[in-house]
Structure 1
């Protein structure tokens, strides 16, 4: 497929005084690149690469217009000309590549992780320990001027415009709803008064900066919190912002404190298009659809339907900066698709680390990982093991022009990813394997499936470099009765070689244990839809799309688990403590809804016909089970590595074969790329 297959996505659009060359926006992301060495150069390279590959319009991470609005102390701030001048290198780099870029203005309000945050009213947030103080009317006027001054400084820095952040529960959003605004003055009470702050900011920006300056307002299209706005209030704000002078209306989905996932892998693709469509019907300016749009066909479908005029794809451009060029050139099957894992983007940012991407370690590290180019010396490389570490190494080596042979003992590539993609909601992992399969074909990697070469064969092959990526094997804990017939391993269950009974005990509550519990709670794939539908998602999480629903909430539908599952672990820690920072809570909430019992601090006594005998808090207990599944960790599979070393060959060792304790696709892919770049 080519741009001809995505005609709406690649059609130009007039927005304000500008014509965008296509309908793709790279939405705002907090990247923390400003915390690294040479921050401006890093940001310039990051945005310029996306512009070079055809993104029409980009939005920076949020810059505060004042010290009171900072997300955290030391965060991005634009409040004086000197700061603006420093940012000019970013805008010049983007413009040199034919792109446009907006600066997002974000006032965190009660979300600010600073000693004394401000808010419409003294109502704390459950996700911030600091209690806010109420802004005075004079301070509100100052805040308006701070926003306008920040926009003027953005223009001075060369930005094409600004995005005014009015969603996700930040300050402007806090003013618009009774949940956080209980004022009785001109800035609270009636809908018009609650909308006054964002509308006045946009009005004064347009008045000061003229028609050539792009103003995009990011509106909370659905709050997903109690006492949030209903669709009628959202429409009223949208019309008021348009009348005040906004050029584009971008859609934000959910507050940060919402208990409904909005961008994680459990959310179906384009699940929030209804929210953009509602806004499209009430305004005449272009409307942007956002969240979980990660493929050109999804974008085209949404745009062609008329539900939105543009699509915002933030993380997909982390995963593949060449997304638009590949789609335009008929190479959509070569796009490295965002799998919505959040592991290296949001999880990193919320743990005070610079963002990158699990499937693309170059993202945010363009200074470290230069664009991959052919090597001056072509080598013969053998990679053994086609899990993600081996696949990344093989692909990266081949991109440098090396002759690569990839051996895999199984009949398919993927390794442990083949288990993860069986979990309901994790179907996006199929895209990762599709990407690698296609890259192997395009690059001419010699893929040898069903091949388990021994050390002698590899030595005889006279390879210049041998990489061992043979992965892991499940660890078998020392429990009396561990060989009982009802005891099986997690690979046997995920692969379908064993069908568990109705009562299942899972030993081990790490990431694989949680994934397995989710897998077991659902009926077999042939008894359910291949992928959760949007309606199923809305019912399960309690999303109400009716226009009268405040915050867009309803009671979640009761869950009907296919099996009774108990998850146990030796450690006394709360199960799931090490799951993803921004996705783990959703997985835990799902298992709780399915009635999965989670036990910690267990001492395993024995396994017999009655089930698993254990002791907790000095109390004996028997967990009756038809099937007991072992998810008690992994051990490195290094037998081939050791055999090669015995022959005097020292191969590279990557992925799970290198360190089973760090079994993680994020580390495996990063390690695979680094290994290949050193060849």
Structure 2
């Protein structure tokens, strides 16, 4: 398919862009400990430039070392010493005719004091962000004036380094938004009060940048079309802000929405569909004449094209899409949509960042360490390697091994690739996992891997055929505890496979992990469902906003969740549990076990007798989520050596 609008040239001010694709700012925590652009960060952005982004906007970039630290290993423009590495970053991106902006940022009350070395966090007023849970102090008038100068100095550093423009982060509840929003700005000095007072800080920053860097140096403002919080910026106020910012002579508006307190509106889980907030950008574009960049949970190139065709925006922001696949743009331009690993909205990227680690992606083991691929050792010499199992781990290992020039055959016991991902794609909102299976299968074929279906290969047959090593990725099997009456239960796996006709029943699901919760959603349409979990909460491996939306949906579907209940036995359509010292029974027509999986290793000993190298992957090695399966498979295939 041809995407005419998506790959049409565009302009932000006088700056010409090769297409309409913008990679918006996303935290990556890849800078050095002192804030320089590290080689890892430079390579990370360069790969997205090579992969088709017309404009890249860096992660939130620190303008103040005292109160403005938002993440560990954050890019910084607080000192002239940062210029050399920023210049290298700009040059790396420019090599692919891609432009780059630095996003200037201060977190305000949306950062923990531990990142400020124990200093109290600051804000426009002493309004606490409920997510952070720490009371900030209101900045003095003199401190606000000082921060204005630091934003301007940050822009000066960026321009001196050869950066093409800057973006002011005035959205998502960060400091500039805290001054603009009546929810957080209760000031009585000139930086508070009426609309113009609340806009004064960003006004002074914009005018300062124009005076320092020149009136045509591109300035974009990332703003909220709406905050989705009480007494915050609503859609009408968002339009008013956009028109005012345009009057100041900025070159672009980057429209997003939400704050930490509105949760999922900033980083949407899989439940929110592509384009759910398109109207925010559409209304702002209808009221301004400068370019509008819009993020809209975009997964597919065709949807991005439609936003441009329908005049929703002038540029599309492809954020997590570029995390999942650095070549999102070039693959779209070549019509290779099938080969794009499309973000599945699991929010693992944000969960990992919240643990103060560099960003990771479930689907992309290379994220944050793109330099690995430049050092891929193609030492396979076409020696024969077998991969047993066509789930995510098996497919990822097969792809990497084939690209390392091993002769790879993948043996799959069923008639299709995907393994348990095929089951994981069945519950509501998991359709993108099904697309990911198709993408991986296409990449397996593209890599030149031979796939043999409906086959359980024996060690003797493989040895005779000349294979020298085995990658075993045959999955796991459901955990079934040795408890009285357990034979009366069925497994979540068998439910998702469609082996049971379950309608108008009282169903009790044992286990409140991801599988248990999603199985509950799958069954709730036609049944009365209760989830029993022995821990004090369910869905503990999920990112908070994903978990919150999922639990709300489950509540709305009438699903009952009981935590701190330990299964003791099943008898006569009753599930017996221990809740503290209390015995509690639940009526059940059907009991479903979702208590996790254990490795399948029955054949391991036989293979180890025949082969010197048997490498375990995925659930066969250590049961976990898709991210663990893909990443460990990539790592082991990357370093594998036959000797």
Same-fold call, TM cutoff 0.5? yes
Task: Indicate yes or no: 2:164 matched with 1:166.
Answer: no
Q: Structure 2 CA distance, aligned partners of 1:130 and 1:239?
A: 34
Instruction: Give the equivalent residue in structure 2 for 1:51.
Output: 49
- Aligned partners of 1:339 and 1:431 also within 8 Å: no
- Aligned partners of 1:253 and 1:291 also within 8 Å: no
Q: Structure 1 CA distance, aligned partners of 2:335 and 2:610?
A: 47
Q: Secondary structure at the match of 1:34?
A: coil
- Aligned partners of 2:341 and 2:439 also within 8 Å: yes
Instruction: Give the equivalent residue in structure 2 for 1:103.
Output: 102
Q: Structure 1 CA distance, aligned partners of 2:540 and 2:7?
A: 44
Task: Indicate yes or no: 2:499 matched with 1:497.
Answer: yes
Q: Secondary structure at the match of 1:257?
A: helix
Q: Secondary structure at the match of 2:126?
A: coil
- Aligned partners of 1:420 and 1:429 also within 8 Å: yes
1:644 corresponds, among 602, 607, 617, to 607
Q: Structure 2 CA distance, aligned partners of 1:313 and 1:593?
A: 31
Q: Structure 2 CA distance, aligned partners of 1:49 and 1:474?
A: 40
Cα distance, 1:648 vs structure 2? 5.0
Q: Secondary structure at the match of 2:56?
A: strand
Deviations, residues 399-419 of structure 1 (Å, cap 9, x unaligned) = 233322111112221111112
Task: Indicate yes or no: 2:635 matched with 1:630.
Answer: no
Cα distance, 1:495 vs structure 2? 1.3
Cα distance, 1:394 vs structure 2? 1.0
Cα distance, 1:30 vs structure 2? 0.7
Deviations, residues 479-508 of structure 1 (Å, cap 9, x unaligned) = 211112xx2111111111113343111111
Unaligned runs of 5+ in 1: 524-561
Instruction: Give the equivalent residue in structure 2 for 1:184.
Output: 188
1:22 corresponds, among 19, 24, 28, to 19
2:129 corresponds, among 100, 111, 125, to 125
What TM-score does the superposition give when structure 2 sets the normalisation length? 0.94
- Aligned partners of 1:65 and 1:77 also within 8 Å: yes
Instruction: Give the equivalent residue in structure 2 for 1:605.
Output: 568
Q: Structure 2 CA distance, aligned partners of 1:73 and 1:510?
A: 30
Instruction: Give the equivalent residue in structure 2 for 1:397.
Output: 401
The structure-2 alpha-carbon separation of the partners of 1:648 and 1:376, relative to structure 1 and needing over 3 Å to count, comes to closer
Q: Structure 1 CA distance, aligned partners of 2:480 and 2:380?
A: 47
Q: Secondary structure at the match of 1:7?
A: coil
More relative contact order in 1 or in 2 (CA 8 Å, sep 6+)?
Answer: 1
Q: Secondary structure at the match of 1:357?
A: coil
Q: Secondary structure at the match of 2:435?
A: helix
Q: Secondary structure at the match of 1:116?
A: coil
Cα distance, 1:518 vs structure 2? 2.2
Deviations, residues 376-402 of structure 1 (Å, cap 9, x unaligned) = 611222111011000101111222333
> 297-306 or 225-234, which moves further after superposition?
225-234
Q: Structure 1 CA distance, aligned partners of 2:429 and 2:566?
A: 32
- Aligned partners of 2:18 and 2:97 also within 8 Å: no
- Aligned partners of 2:469 and 2:612 also within 8 Å: no
- Aligned partners of 1:641 and 1:653 also within 8 Å: no
Cα distance, 1:649 vs structure 2? 4.5
Q: Structure 1 CA distance, aligned partners of 2:501 and 2:637?
A: 39
Cα distance, 1:668 vs structure 2? 0.8
Instruction: Give the equivalent residue in structure 2 for 1:527.
Output: none
Q: Structure 2 CA distance, aligned partners of 1:490 and 1:438?
A: 28
Task: Indicate yes or no: 2:298 matched with 1:334.
Answer: no
Across the aligned residues of Structure 1 and Structure 2, the Cα RMSD in angstroms comes to 2.0
What is the number of residues matched between the two proteins? Answer: 631
Q: Structure 1 CA distance, aligned partners of 2:73 and 2:4?
A: 44
Cα distance, 1:73 vs structure 2? 7.2
1:431 corresponds, among 417, 432, 435, to 435
- Aligned partners of 2:410 and 2:450 also within 8 Å: yes
Q: Structure 1 CA distance, aligned partners of 2:215 and 2:375?
A: 38
2:540 corresponds, among 560, 573, 577, to 577
Q: Structure 2 CA distance, aligned partners of 1:72 and 1:665?
A: 26
What TM-score does the superposition give when structure 1 sets the normalisation length? 0.89
The structure-2 alpha-carbon separation of the partners of 1:376 and 1:620, relative to structure 1 and needing over 3 Å to count, comes to closer
1:671 corresponds, among 626, 632, 640, to 632
Cα distance, 1:475 vs structure 2? 1.1
1:40 corresponds, among 38, 41, 45, to 38
Q: Structure 2 CA distance, aligned partners of 1:236 and 1:356?
A: 37
> 177-186 or 273-282, which moves further after superposition?
177-186
Deviations, residues 36-57 of structure 1 (Å, cap 9, x unaligned) = 7996111111111211232111
Deviations, residues 236-291 of structure 1 (Å, cap 9, x unaligned) = 11011111121111012211221444422111112211111011101101101104
Cα distance, 1:445 vs structure 2? 2.0
Cα distance, 1:75 vs structure 2? 4.2
